[in-house]
Each structure stands twice: as C-alpha cells, then as structure tokens.
C-alpha cells in the first residue's frame, strides 16, 4: 500500500450532462481526500500536452476539441487531485474501462459514457493511470500553491515585473 495522488478531470460531457454531483459521490466511496480542485478553461496547449501520448492517433484532433469543450459548447473542465492509499487503482476501478461500451455498467464510464459518431470515446472523466502519469498530470494542471500539502519537491522562483490580473 502506498500513499498516492491521482488527477481526476470531469470532462466537458460530464459537466454539460450535470453529472458532477453523481461523479463526486461515486468517488467519495473511495474515502480518498481531495487536496486540490478548480474549474479550468482548457487551452489548446494544455489539451495537447495532456494527451501528447496519443498525438499519433487518428482521433487526436477530435480528442483535443473534446477536452477543450468545443464539442459541448462549454469551455470548462473540473480538475481535482485525490490523495490516499492506492488512490490511482481505487479511482480507476470506479471510473471503469477507457471504452465506455466495454466498461462495467456500474462504473462511471459504463453508466454515463458513449462513443460519438466520429469515434471519440466520450467517457465523462479522466483518471491518472500510473504514479508517473499522475505526477506529470498534476504538475501540468496545478501549481504547487493550488495543492494542499507538499506532494512533490518545489523550488522558489523570484520573478520580477510579472503582471497578473487582479480584482478591480
Ligand atoms: P484513459 O483515459 O482510460 O487513461 P487513454 O488511453 O489515456 O485512456 O486515452 C485518453 C482518452 O482518449 C480516453 O479517455 C478517450 O477519451 C480517448 N480515447 C482513447 N482511446 C481511444 C480510442 O481507441 N478511440 C477513441 N477515443 C479514444
Ligand atoms: Mg490515460
């Protein structure tokens, strides 16, 4: 047993279908702890980075459009980090098989996913599949200060003349 972190995304189809509550309820069965969460407007760069392992697949362009929300006319993804013993396997178990038609019907993807006419698996959620993937994905989606707890080593960077938006 190992203390692990895992990235969960409620993809645009999950948000548009109002499945967030159901998904979080299912995931709460794991008794894992949420240590980060935010709603993200997914840029093309972020989408392509997240799915870079699939860049040679015929469905890659459709997949990028899907995670960006272009397909569902929403530009939101809910990103969360769960932490606990064997978090990766526990979440993947409840999430189900990548192909929603093959996924256990009681899993999240089995219950709510579908395959589009263009062949993309709209499977409602993303969940990291290994500790290496989880680390890479969490670092891609979250900044250290957005995560409660020191999960990976950090460094302090002094930036000068950085401009950022603030409330007016
Ligand atoms: P995972 O999400 O279960 O880890 P990956 O192989 O990492 O599966 O694929 C990422 C996403 O790409 C999937 O969740 C699904 O949306 C899409 N995808 C993967 N394989 C296929 C495929 O064979 N056809 C269509 N879409 C796919
Ligand atoms: Mg994957």
Q: Would the CB of 120 count as within 6 Å of ligand 1? A: yes
Q: Is the dihedral of CA 154, 159, 165, 166 positive or negative?
A: positive
Residue 73 lies in a domain: yes
**Which tens digits make up the pLDDT trace of 69-104?**
999 999 999 999 999 999 999 999 999 999 999 999
Residue 52 lies in a domain: yes
Residue 71 lies in a domain: yes
Residue 48 lies in a domain: yes
What pLDDT was estimated at residue 100?
98
Residue 128 lies in a domain: yes
CATH number of 96's domain = 3.30.70.141
- Is 126 a catalytic site residue? yes
For the chain, the domain total comes to 1
Q: Is the pLDDT of residue 10 over 90?
A: yes
**Which tens digits make up the pLDDT trace of 110-121?**
999 999 988 899
- Quick one: which ligand is closest to 91's CA? 1
Torsion of CA 155, 158, 162, 165, to 10 degrees: 50
For the CA of 97, the closest atom of ligand 1 is 3
Distance, in Å, from the CA atom of 125 to the CA atom of 127, rounded to the nearest integer, reads 7
Expressed as residue numbers, the domain containing 66 is 3-146
**Bridge-based pairing state of the strands 33-40 and 77-85:** antiparallel
Residue 94 lies in a domain: yes
């Amino acid at each position: 047993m190992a203390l692990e972190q895992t990235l969960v995304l409620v993809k645009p189809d999950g948000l548009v279908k109002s499945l967030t509550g159901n998904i979080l309820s299912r995931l709460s069965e794991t008794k894992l702890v949420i240590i980060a969460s935010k709603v993200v407007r997914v840029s093309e760069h972020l989408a392509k980075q997240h799915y870079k392992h699939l860049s040679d697949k015929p469905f890659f362009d459709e997949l990028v459009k899907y995670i960006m929300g272009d397909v569902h006319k929403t530009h939101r993804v809910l990103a969360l980090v769960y932490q606990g013993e064997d978090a990766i396997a526990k979440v993947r178990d409840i999430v189900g098989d990548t192909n929603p038609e093959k996924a256990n019907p009681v899993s999240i993807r089995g219950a709510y996913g579908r395959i589009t006419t263009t062949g993309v698996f709209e499977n409602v959620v993303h969940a990291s599949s290994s500790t290496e993937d989880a680390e890479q994905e969490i670092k891609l989606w979250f900044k250290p200060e957005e995560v409660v707890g020191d999960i990976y080593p950090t460094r302090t960077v002094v930036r000068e003349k950085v401009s950022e938006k603030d409330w007016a």
